[in-house]
Amino acid sequence: MSVNPKFRTAILAIAAAVTLQLPITAQNPQGRKPAAEPYAWKSVQMVGAGFVDGIIFHPTAKGVRYARTDMGGAYRWNDTVKRWEPILDWVSYEDLNLMGVESIALDPADPDRVYLACGTYTNARTPNGAILRSGDRGRTFQRTDAPFKFGGNENGRGNGERMAVDPNDGNVLYLGTRQAGLWRSTDRAVTWSKVESFPDITEAPPAAATGQPAQPGRGGFGGARPSRGSGIVFAVFDPRSGARGKASGTIYIGASLMGRDNLFRSTDSGRTWQPVPGQPTQYRPNHAVLASDGALYLSYGTDPGPNRMTDGGVWKFNTASGEWTDITPDRPDAASQKAFGYAAVAVDAHNPRVVIASSFGRPRDAGGEDIFRSIDGGKTWKPVIGSGGTYDYSLAPYVAHTGIHWLFDIEIDPFDSNHAMFTTGYGGHETFNLTDVDAGKPTKWSVMSTGIEESVALELLSPAKGAHLISAIGDYGGFVHWDLDKPAPEGNFDNPHFGNTNGVACAENKPEVMVRVGAASGSRGGGNIGYSLDGGKSWQPPASTPQPNSRLGHIAVSADGAAWVWVPQGSPAYFTSDNGGKWTQSQGVPNNTRIIADRVNPRKFYALALFDGKLFVSSDGAATFAEQPVTLPDGLPQRGNRGDSRGGQDRIYATPGKEGDIWLAAFNGLYHSADAGKSFSRMGGVAEMHAFGFGKAAPSADYPALYMIGVVDGQRGIFRSDNAARNWVRINDDQHQWGLLLHITGDPRQYGRVYVGTHGRGTVYGDPGRKSN
């Protein structure tokens, strides 16, 4: 199961990145912007690789649906080509916070209208969120900045939907927030006002941690973290309480509270609110759906999730009689180590007595995660997966060994009772024979996330031969991409299998020698370093590691593949000359300092301590390093906020085919040295750097093409230079920005081809002069 470290560690990284919005003073006194060149952009196909936390079907327009992700934007389903299409690729670096989508709302009376509540984190350093509105199904948006924050990648992000459109009056929307109460718009989300009459749902901070250590197969992040709610988590209108053009009178609002009232109702179009009598308060609600017969179904857990739940249930509220009924399919029992909760609930639009509910953290020895189905309003249930459900993983082979988890949204297609979907930490699955379970037949599930790409790139490698791209990503290891337009049939890295892959490198002159480092994941782990001698077709762990706990960090491979240098996280550097049979500590280089190989001389390596003004050079295969000063024409930069620490800035890069030729891609500018770092010159026009790389030289050039992400002559974007950084051309456009970008590399075999690693929108590749899709 994914432990999703990006959720735990990226909060500060994103918060730091979004504080960078200061005026950029470029070296461009004439005010000219760089030239632009059209590029066609496509996603490298991994399929999913991140948490899809919500699916929203339009109730009256067949084939119209949207998906939201916790940090990778939102998608619209294209029913013609049968794939998801991103609708937030235009989000700029300045607005990267908007890539976390807290909620999506659709207007039941107008299938062209869609609303997004966007914002990734609620911490003090992250900007407020925004509500985006579209009248053309997300092809264009207008924006209203909110006076509060959203938590699209925080605990409870799978709850919802927090925003809803009145089915009787499309001018009216309600929006529940994490920290700022309930809000209402009466002009189709252009302006918003707080609903002051709504009860105070402020939750006191928990007194102490009450969580329990995570156990295999039990879901959540585990650990001893106290449970706390996630604000208002759903808004549900009763369409029977209004008429076309007249606002609905009855509205239900759910708050992620426990031990007190958590479901509230208004019967006067939101003027006054009362708690619903008799409601369960022993756990927190996370989803609610109103059936056409007036029954309100709710799912509950002791935590909003995906932090661990220890209890939960499914309840039915008869809105006519006021009667509550506990209809929990499989009752948790923490005392017998059967601690879990429920993540979501859905109802068939064609039959109000058909209900499905999903578990969260259900132990393997209790049957594991499942979807339960009832055809009698919750009186009896059948397990859907546990009744012989099967999976077809061909559309995303890597998920075959991952296991379903985080089923925080389940939906039944309102136009097809056999079509159901559920979300997971890697995307999701769908079936087209759901009703077969009623006859005792197995359901068949396939991957539903084609077109969704949510991985975080931690390193990109494009070798001189073999596969054109090797991706190192967070959570799901990485892939050898033999075909950029198809998911890797062998799945992600194995033997060893990683969660995060932090580094991957190959020998410049013998690229079939590859080494990758990361953190082992699950029972398939097998260690924190692996190597290949056939260009990534097969992998194996070395016979030894520098220390038993060596993990993550950075890896370098000499130009001839004979020497590898690993700097594990927080560790000294170690080198091996026998494929990891023995490791020896390098001398003369500080701990935790990234090392790179010269791309020509197999004995030469470099390491940079930028803020100390020191370059370390080895000429004996990384056995020893000699220190030399780094002198920059405008002085050394100061430590501080210099972009996302996982990005490609503040690093040195060795030029292919030229010994001793290195580039310093500092966050605040680009520097070049042709004498192994003895002197550096600053390249004009570059004011900010986030990533840097090389590609095949232009047809008339004798120097590799350069690629960078940053600011050139006052223009932010992705750039290529064909003349060693004397001039740059922008190769992306305002519709292709993808928020935060971390890495870039050109292709050494195809001029103009470039690969860009994003933070949550997968890896994209571009070619000159073709149409994007």
Catalytic residues: 70, 475
- 202: closest CA among 232, 162, 236? 232
Hey, what long-range contacts does 296-301 have (CB within 8 A, 24 or more apart)?
296/236, 296/252, 297/327, 297/345, 297/347, 297/355, 297/357, 297/378, 298/254, 298/263, 298/345, 299/342, 299/343, 299/344, 299/345, 299/357, 299/358, 300/341, 300/342, 301/341, 301/342, 301/343, 301/360
Give strand ranges (E) for 579-661: 584-585, 595-597, 605-609, 614-618, 626-629, 651-654
- The C-alpha atoms of residue 742 and residue 758 are separated, in whole angstroms, by 6
* Three-point CA angle 580, 583, 589, nearest 5°: 125
- The C-alpha atoms of residue 316 and residue 76 are separated, in whole angstroms, by 31
Phi, psi of 364 (to 5 degrees): -60, -40
User: Token pair 């136009």 is at which residue?
Assistant: 415
Residue 400 neighbours by CB under 8 Å, 6+ apart: 391, 393, 491
- The number of C-alpha atoms within 13 Å of 35 and in the hemisphere containing its C-beta is 8
- 55: closest CA among 414, 380, 354, 309? 414
User: Token pair 């020698």 is at which residue?
Assistant: 513
Q: Which helix (H) or strand (E) holds 6?
A: helix 5-18
Token pair for residue 59? 């109730």
- The C-alpha atoms of residue 719 and residue 730 are separated, in whole angstroms, by 4
Contact 68, 103 (CB under 8 A): yes
Token pair for residue 712? 């050139």
Token pair for residue 625? 């390093």
Q: Which amino acid is at 359?
A: S
Residue 702 neighbours by CB under 8 Å, 6+ apart: none
- 114: closest CA among 88, 82, 80? 88
CA 19 to centroid of chain Cα atoms: 20
Question: What is the Cα gyration radius of the chain?
Answer: 27
- The C-alpha atoms of residue 748 and residue 770 are separated, in whole angstroms, by 20
